[in-house]
Homo-oligomer: A and B are copies of this chain.
Amino acid sequence: MKKHKDLIAVLKSNEMRITPARRLLLQFILDNSSKQLSLKDVHDFMEENMPGVDRSSIYRNLEAFKKLDIIQELMLPKLGKRFQYVFDRKVHHFFICKACGKLNKGNKALFEKVESALKDVHGFSKANLSVVFYGYCSSCGKKTAQKEATRSAHGALSEAQQSMR
């Protein structure tokens, strides 16, 4: 796990200036490295600890950090943009339910399979890569399956929408 001062060094080596807001922002990101943060999450924190920093400044700093691969960006259905610290592992898996929009990290069995598939393909093993699955989570899948049964009775789209077990 990289430390605050390592990240400061990264900024410096890219001709970026170290402003108070950036220091605090980096710390917040490090302290929440396992979470997917929205712009609002970050802005609320900043407003509390360093009032007056503009939404757009935070936004642009996050964009800058993204370019340096300090954080990565995800676009999530229903949730919109999310930022997350990129820690030591280079491949990230996410599972997003199409119905409820919930972000999930489960389905370990699948992810392990995919991970090894990624390794098998030349050049990918060290790539900084994110994989996002869209499907139906177990609870939404059940509901959908029921609805689906009704639909099949009408003879339409009978092959669609299967739950993930």
Contact = CB atoms under 8 A, between A and B. Distances in A.
Interface residues of A, number: 55
Interface stretch (A20-28, A29-37, A49-57, A114-122): A114-122
Contacts of A107: 121
A81 B136 CA distance: 19
Contacts of A77: 73, 75
Tell me how many chains of this kind the complex includes: 2
Most buried by B among A118, A131, A134: A134
Contact of A13 (B72, B120, B156, B162): B156
A154 B14 CA distance: 9
Contacts of A120: 113
A130 interface: yes
Contacts of A76: 75
A69 B157 contact: yes
A149 interface: no
A1 to B, nearest CB: 14
A113 B121 contact: yes
Interface string A51-81: 0000000000000001011001111110010
Given A75-B76, A132-B132, 11 more contacts: A10-B157, A12-B154, A13-B154, A69-B160, A72-B98, A73-B98, A75-B77, A90-B160, A123-B164, A127-B136, A131-B133
